[in-house]
Amino acid sequence: MRMNMVKKVVIVGGGTAGWCAAAGLSRLLGPMLDITLVESADIGIIGVGEATIPTIRAFHTLISVDEQAFMRATNATFKTGIAFENWARDGDRYFHSFGTIGKSPWMAPFHNIWLEARSQGFGGSLDDYSLETKAGLAGKFQLHKNLPINYAYHFDAVLYGKYLRSLSEASGVKRIEGDVTSVRQNPETGFITAVTLASGAVVEGDLFIDCTGFRGLLIEQTLKTGWEDWSHWLPTDRALAVQTRADTPVTPYTKAAAHGEGWRWRIQLQNRVGNGMIYSSAYLSDDEAEARLRGLLDEPMLNEPRIIKYGAGRRKAFWNKNCIAMGLASSFVEPLESTSIHLFQRGVLHLVQNFPFFGITDAQVDHYNDVSSKELEYARDFVILHYKLNERTDSAFWKDRAAMSVPDDLQARIDLFRETATAYQGPGELFRVDSWAQVMLGQRLEPRGWHRLAGLMTRQEMDGVFDGLKKTVDHTVAQMMPHDTFVKQYCPTTAA
């Protein structure tokens, strides 16, 4: 048994995924492993994903990241949620916040109480009871021991990779510069034994992590794992990205505005603004998309727009033989809900928890693949939800999305919420009850019924509940700093 012990880990590919894997393994299991990362300066980094979700903070805590140092090094700002515009109908707007809404008793989530109040003509907007929503839209943010705000970050993904590299190398990771020209396999088992570089150097390993992006050098080109296509649910296949000057106050939320054939993003960092257009080439040409994006920019461009081609789907196995795919090498769900970094950081932590110290077993591989697949499918279905629940009639793209069949589990969720306002978070699922409720209600899915817990209260008691919650949120937001002011005090950038 000990003849097959895993000691040498080789990560092929850098970027955010590669250096996340290196940082996680080296800082959590480092003394027991020999970790090498191979990357080529000649291979570009996609580096578009600049928005995250709050789970990144847990990952950072585990690998002992200093928040202020990380934010300074990556031009980072804070993010309390996503503002969606024009999704259900042109002119609509709703906010998917990272916090909780109101206060939920054990019997039923708060949105049920709000639905009862709304049916009686009061209660206001659901946004009134979300600190993260009100703070974000007001351009406010602050950290304080008595301020329970939930948040994530916007940052420069390329600089984030460099920051993680510095942590990894300080923890013993060896970096080798070079292009992989061939992959060696054991002729009997098919396991990868080494990669050969253009220099002639041979890098041997026991476990290989493929972070080579969409090409999947190890997981696909070598091991022929296969790809499961999801374009029938998520047909967008182009991202057009451009950076603009930061001329306006930085808002602590991502903007996602729907257009005729997809959606566009706006993400503000300390030193610049990330902008982009997500669209389907089957409905919109690249030239038309670029012209549209240029016409929607609020500030002067810092670079020319670049096109990134992709396809939604996943490898048929994340872990195949002695190779684990992470990042774009493993799967892709478009960046609408900023799940990409979360998913490969989860992959790193699953590996840490299930590391094959005494050798790779089928049971271990099957378990890793099963857990990873379910987490990815939960994220995929949440993104599909935004497209399915639309009432736009301005283009074939949106009409086709509304008419499409969706995964059975997602359809069951939609039906359940429509009939009873019931939303739930399954075991191991990323998105919370409040996330599902905010998006479903924001996309105009109107429940026909709800839990009538509020029927046990008098109108006076309900008024007291809603008024108290709203006043608490408004008072807290009023005391917070403007986001720009807090960022300049807390983490002024040191990055170029």
407: phi then psi, degrees, rounded to nearest 5: -55, 145
Phi, psi of 480 (to 5 degrees): -80, 155
Q: Could you tell me the two tokens for 126?
A: 């659901």
Q: Which helix (H) or strand (E) holds 21?
A: helix 15-29
Cβ distance 400 to 384 under 8 Å?
A: no
Residues 6+ apart with CB under 8 A from 253: 79, 80, 81, 82, 83, 95, 136, 137
Closest CA to 48 of 318, 323, 206, 243: 243
Tokens standing for 495? 């990055």
120 Cβ contact list (under 8 Å, min separation 6): 459
Structure tokens, 240: 């057009």
What distance in Å separates the CA atoms of residue 242 and residue 303, rounded to the nearest whole number? Answer: 6
Catalytic residue among 7, 8, 79, 134: 79
Element (H, E) at 93: strand 93-97
- Mind giving me the DSSP string for 373-396? HHHHHHHHHHHHHHHHS----SSH
Q: Is 255 a catalytic residue?
A: no
Question: Which residues, 6+ apart, have CB-to-CB distance to 370 below 8 Å?
Answer: none
Terminal-to-terminal C-alpha distance of the chain: 50
Q: Is 174 helix (H, G, I), strand (E, B) or coil?
A: strand
Helices (H) and strands (E) in the chain, counts: 14, 21
DSSP-assigned letters across all residues of 250-310: PPSSEEEEEETTEEEEEEE-SSEEEEEEEE-TTTS-HHHHHHHHHHH-SS-BSS--EEEE-
Q: Using CA atoms, how far apart are residues 257 and 53, in angstroms rounded to an integer?
A: 18
Which active-site residues does the annotation give? 79
